[in-house]
Amino acid sequence: MSERETDQAGPSLEGLRQRLTAFAAARSWEPFHTPKNLAAALSVEAGELLEIFQWLTPEQAAAVMSDPDSAHRVRDEVADVLAYLLQFCTAVGVDPLTALDAKIDRNERRFPVPGAEGGADGGSGVAAGPDVNRGVTG
């Protein structure tokens, strides 16, 4: 992973992951950072990101970054979600990039590009992401 760490274009995922590990170690926070606690914290932070949008109309939501305070809040919650995701991955020994790469591979087989048989579902919203609703695949 050394190339990621030395990326001169900006902070790298691996560099940030290591920085978070050192940050927690310096403050003796490791005992709190169990997989279960970190999964809970990740979920809590994702809720805080959603909270920004919960009452917004689509138009207001689309403009959220044009207000400096909202924009700061969005960046702050994105950072928290990513931080806990990386710390969770450290705790369980998962490489998130490899995991996502493999998932996209699976989804490319599972949701063929329309023209193939999956096309009719495109407008239903049930398959509008890399994950699908239980109702469809369960």
Angle between helices 35-53 and 68-92 (to 10 degrees): 160
Question: Smallest distance, Å, CB 105 to its own copies?
Answer: 10
CB of 101 to its own copies, least distance (A): 4
- Would you say the C-alpha torsion 30, 32, 33, 35 has a positive or negative sign? positive
Q: In angstroms, what is the minimal distance from the CB of 109 to its own copies?
A: 12
Number of DSSP helices (H) and strands (E) in the chain, helices first:
7, 0
Sign of CA dihedral 72, 76, 81, 83: positive
